[in-house]
């Protein structure tokens, strides 16, 4: 009780003594650095319209840094810009341009180190190396920001929102493009990513590494080197996302590598080279997803066990499934397959004969990619029919015994 009373009194005193410091070219305080220096915890720094050419501004007080419309910090490509080393801060409405490039130092427009309870919102970050870089922090909100760059290769570019070692982060309504990865999570847990648009990035729209118990939903990943990569992580929930136009010789909408116990549902995979590429994935439930006009809808490559594909729509993909093992421990049940040519004599909505989603031609293309030029030829139809009649290359039990006759998400 004494503890709560102490903090109540502390914050009451803090609020009552807080002041606003204005920064502008005609003000008494002309630089952000100077304003930070004279501020105390609880103050608000209002940055008026104008261009401020400053770098490596360290903020170690719990303040609010608010930008008036037209307030721009220009890093002149010489280094990082804002570095927060404090808890309980807010930054809002600032435009930051021209972050420096380094091959040894992670320069960022906004860097946050060992912080809790902070908000980064309504900022525009252009020409960045890293946009927002968070290290060893938790309970942060990052929303309504626009982050972009124009770098041409992975080596000379950083990530839009990069979190290394964090928890309970909430990231939403951001747009990210022209970066290496739009969003990158490494050793992050119990966080949410939603309603973001990540497009035209060099590598991934979103990238998880060693991050558990996270959720992402209602995001769009469009025209990236690859849509999303989830690697070496557990208990990830992915739903209501759109993965589209992620094209390339080895591209995909969603890459799953060494992950366990995930839920993937209500997502749209449209016109990707590969909708989902899975390697070493176990106990993943794929439910009610739509795979539309992809090269491969799903590619499974080894050590994928106890996965369940149930009530998904497979629509007009060049190949529905690629599988490179003679053993199958995965279940396909009650999916809709546009390539299914079976019948439903008792009119119960379920096909009377099973559907085999793996075609011999898919096996051949896995071994010899150049064979893809034969797609849609009579030769391919013949070899696919032979495998359908007498399976040799695919496991006998790799089939949907009860395919649905009509689309599920119509």
Please tell me the distance from the alpha carbon of residue 258 to that of residue 253, in angstroms, as a whole number.
17
Q: What does the DSSP 8-state code read for residue 160? A: S
Q: Per-residue pLDDT tens for 229-285?
A: 999 999 999 999 999 999 887 789 999 999 999 999 999 999 999 999 999 999 999
The pair of structure tokens assigned to 123 is 């900022």
Residue whose tokens read 């938790």: 138
Are both 153 and 238 inside the same structural domain?
A: no
Task: Tell me the pairing of strands 296-300 and 319-323.
Answer: parallel
Q: Of 162, 197, 215, which marks where a domain is finished?
A: 162
Residue 9 lies in a domain: no
The whole-angstrom separation of Cα 329 and Cα 327 is: 7
Same domain as 147, residue 270: no
Q: What is the CATH number of the domain that holds 157?
A: 2.160.20.10
Residue where one domain finishes, among candidates 162, 195, 211: 162
Structure tokens at 167: 């928890």
Whether 125 contacts 146, CB under 8 Å: yes
Residue 288, by phi and psi: left (phi above 0), alpha (psi -120 to 50) or beta?
A: left
* Domain carrying residue 112: 17-162
Chain centroid to CA 43: how far?
35
Q: Are residues 124 and 237 in the same domain?
A: no
Give yes or no: residues 261 and 145 share one domain. no
**How many Cα neighbours within 13 Å face the side chain of 240?**
8
Q: How many domains, in total, are found in the chain?
A: 2
My answer on whether 23 and 148 are in the same domain is yes
Cα 244 → chain centroid: 13
Q: pLDDT 10s per residue in the chain (410 long)? A: 554 454 444 545 555 568 999 999 999 999 999 999 999 999 999 999 999 999 999 999 999 999 999 999 999 999 999 999 999 999 999 999 999 988 888 999 999 999 999 999 999 999 999 999 999 999 999 999 999 998 778 878 899 999 999 999 999 999 999 999 999 999 999 999 999 999 999 999 999 999 999 999 999 999 999 999 999 999 999 999 999 999 887 789 999 999 999 999 999 999 999 999 999 999 999 999 999 999 889 998 878 889 999 999 999 998 899 887 777 889 999 999 998 989 999 999 999 999 988 776 666 666 666 666 556 666 666 656 666 656 656 677 889 999 999 998 87
> In this structure, is residue 197 part of a structural domain?
no
Domain limit, last residue, from 144, 162, 180: 162
Query: Is residue 275 domain-resident?
Result: yes
Same domain, 149 and 55: yes
Task: State the pTM of this model.
Answer: 0.88
């Amino acid at each position: 009780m004494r503890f709560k009373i102490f903090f109540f009194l502390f914050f009451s005193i803090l609020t009552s003594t807080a002041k606003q410091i204005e920064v502008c070219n005609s003000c008494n305080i002309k630089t952000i650095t100077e304003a930070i220096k004279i501020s105390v915890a609880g103050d608000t720094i209002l940055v008026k319209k104008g261009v401020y050419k400053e770098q490596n501004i360290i903020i170690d007080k719990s303040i609010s840094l608010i930008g008036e419309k037209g307030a721009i910090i220009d890093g002149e490509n010489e280094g990082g810009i804002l570095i927060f080393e404090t808890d309980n801060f807010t930054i809002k409405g600032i435009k930051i341009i021209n972050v420096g490039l380094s091959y040894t130092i992670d320069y960022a427009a906004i860097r946050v180190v060992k912080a809790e309870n902070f908000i980064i919102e309504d900022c525009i970050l252009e020409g960045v190396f890293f946009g927002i870089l968070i290290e060893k922090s938790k309970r942060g909100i990052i929303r309504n920001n626009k982050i972009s760059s124009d770098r041409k290769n992975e080596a000379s570019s950083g990530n839009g929102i990069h979190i290394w070692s964090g928890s309970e982060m909430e990231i939403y309504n951001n747009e990210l493009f022209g970066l290496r990865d739009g969003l990158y999570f490494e050793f992050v847990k119990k966080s949410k990513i939603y309603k973001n648009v990540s497009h035209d990035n060099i590598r991934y729209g979103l990238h998880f590494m060693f991050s558990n118990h996270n959720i992402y939903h209602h995001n769009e990943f469009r025209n990236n080197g690859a849509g999303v990569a989830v690697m070496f992580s557990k208990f990830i929930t992915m739903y209501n996302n759109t993965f589209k136009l992620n094209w390339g010789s080895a591209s995909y909408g969603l890459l799953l590598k060494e992950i366990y116990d995930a839920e993937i549902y209500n997502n749209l995979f449209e016109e990707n080279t590969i909708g989902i590429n899975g390697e070493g994935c176990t106990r993943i439930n794929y439910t009610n997803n739509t795979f539309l006009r992809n090269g491969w809808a799903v590619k499974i490559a080894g050590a994928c066990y106890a996965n369940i594909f149930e009530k998904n729509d497979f629509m007009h993909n060049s190949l529905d499934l690629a599988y490179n093992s003679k053993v199958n421990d995965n279940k396909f049940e009650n999916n809709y397959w546009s390539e299914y040519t079976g019948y439903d004599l008792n009119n119960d909505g379920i096909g009377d004969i099973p559907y085999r989603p793996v075609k011999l031609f898919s096996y051949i293309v896995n071994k010899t990619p150049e064979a893809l030029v034969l797609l849609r030829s009579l030769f391919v139809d013949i070899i696919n029919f032979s495998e359908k009649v007498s399976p040799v290359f695919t496991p006998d039990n790799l089939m949907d015994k009860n395919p649905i006759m009509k689309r599920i998400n119509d």
